[in-house]
Structures are given as C-alpha cells and as structure tokens.
C-alpha cells in the first residue's frame, strides 16, 4: 500500500503486475516543513521566557517626594492663609468667596468616606501639605475640619 507522499505506479509486464513507487517531492517537502514548524513551536513553548529588551522594560522611578505646604501665589492667597491660621476655616472660606478666589463651595465629604481618608493620609490631618491654599480651604470646609482645632 502506498503512502500519501509516495506515488504508486502499477505496470503489467508479461502478465506480471509490478508496483513502482515514486516519491512525490512536493508532498514530502510539505510534510517536512510542517514537522519543522511543529518542533519549533514546541521548543518555543517549552523554553523559559526571556526578559524584554531594555527599550520595552518597565523603569523603576524613585518615589515621589512627600507633599509640601502650599506657597501662596498672590497677596490674596497669603491673606486667606493668615485668616485660616488665625480665624479658622469658615472665616478663610468666606473671605476667599467674597474676593472671588472661590466661586462656589464643594459638596460635603463625609468623615467615613474613602476620599476623606485618602486626603488626610496624603496631605495631613488639616491638609497642611495640600498644594494650593484655596483648594485646601475648600476641602477643609467640605470635610468639616477647622484649621484651628488641635
């Protein structure tokens, strides 16, 4: 019986049947290529993973420096900060609202919310390290924190 990659020829010579086998070269090449591809795939799957090239690797950045207290950007902000420290959050908020530094108040931020907790963990109990004076006043008001409280 002939295989798919072998072409069989039957010839009759003097009443005898003779089978001649000829290799089908195209079919043989196809089989060899598919075997090679299969072996390469298996080797790739079994080999340990390699590290990505330097151009694709994740770079580790040094940690960010801790937040620093805001530097007032104007005389008005300096005044808001002075009022915040001496008269408290409500007075500083009202002054910033009157002078146009704050356009409207933020909605309340509940004490038991994750936003409240993250803000306090990141910027301190009185948000003393918040990056802007006016933003700090708005958040303190929304969180119900008076900057004068111990």
* Mean pLDDT computed over 15-43: 78
Q: What is the pLDDT of residues 64-93, one digit of tens each?
A: 777 787 777 889 999 999 999 999 999 999
Residue 55 covered by a domain: no
Residue 1 covered by a domain: no
- Are 30 and 84 found together in one domain? no
Report the C-alpha gap between 51 and 43 in whole angstroms: 17
> What is the Cβ-side half-sphere exposure of residue 110, based on CA atoms within 13 angstroms?
3
Residue 150 covered by a domain: no
Residue 52 covered by a domain: no
In which domain, by residue range, is 29 found? 6-46
Q: Confidence band (pLDDT; 50, 70, 90) for 148? A: confident
Report the C-alpha gap between 54 and 79 in whole angstroms: 51
Q: Provide the token pair at 110.
A: 């509940």
- Are 80 and 138 found together in one domain? yes
Residue 58 covered by a domain: no
- Are 83 and 124 found together in one domain? yes
pLDDT reported for residue 124 = 92
The pTM of this model reads: 0.56
- Are 99 and 137 found together in one domain? yes
Residue 88 covered by a domain: yes
- Are 138 and 80 found together in one domain? yes
Q: What is the 3-state secondary structure (H, E, C) of 121-150?
A: HHHCCCCCCCCCHHHHHHHHHHHCCCCCCC
Residue 149 covered by a domain: no
pLDDT reported for residue 110 = 94
- Are 135 and 83 found together in one domain? yes
pLDDT reported for residue 123 = 92
pLDDT exceeds 60 at position 10: no
Residue 68 covered by a domain: no
Report the C-alpha gap between 20 and 37 in whole angstroms: 31
- Are 32 and 80 found together in one domain? no
Instruction: Count structural domains, the chain.
Output: 2
Q: What is the pLDDT of residues 96-128, one digit of tens each?
A: 999 999 999 899 999 999 999 999 999 999 999
């Amino acid at each position: 019986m002939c295989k798919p990659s072998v072409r069989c020829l039957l010839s009759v010579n003097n009443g005898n049947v003779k089978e001649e086998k000829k290799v089908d070269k195209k079919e043989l090449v196809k089989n060899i290529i598919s075997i090679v591809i299969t072996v390469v795939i298996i080797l790739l799957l079994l080999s340990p993973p390699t590290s990505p090239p330097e151009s694709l690797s994740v770079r580790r950045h040094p940690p960010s420096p801790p937040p620093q207290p805001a530097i007032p950007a104007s005389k008005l902000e300096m005044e808001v900060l002075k009022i915040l420290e001496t008269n408290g959050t409500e007075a500083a908020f009202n002054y910033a609202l009157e002078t146009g530094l704050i356009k409207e108040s933020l909605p309340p931020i509940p004490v038991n919310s994750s936003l409240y907790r993250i803000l306090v963990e990141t910027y301190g109990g009185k948000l003393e390290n918040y990056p802007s004076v006016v933003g700090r006043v708005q958040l303190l008001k929304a969180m119900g924190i008076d900057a004068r409280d111990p």
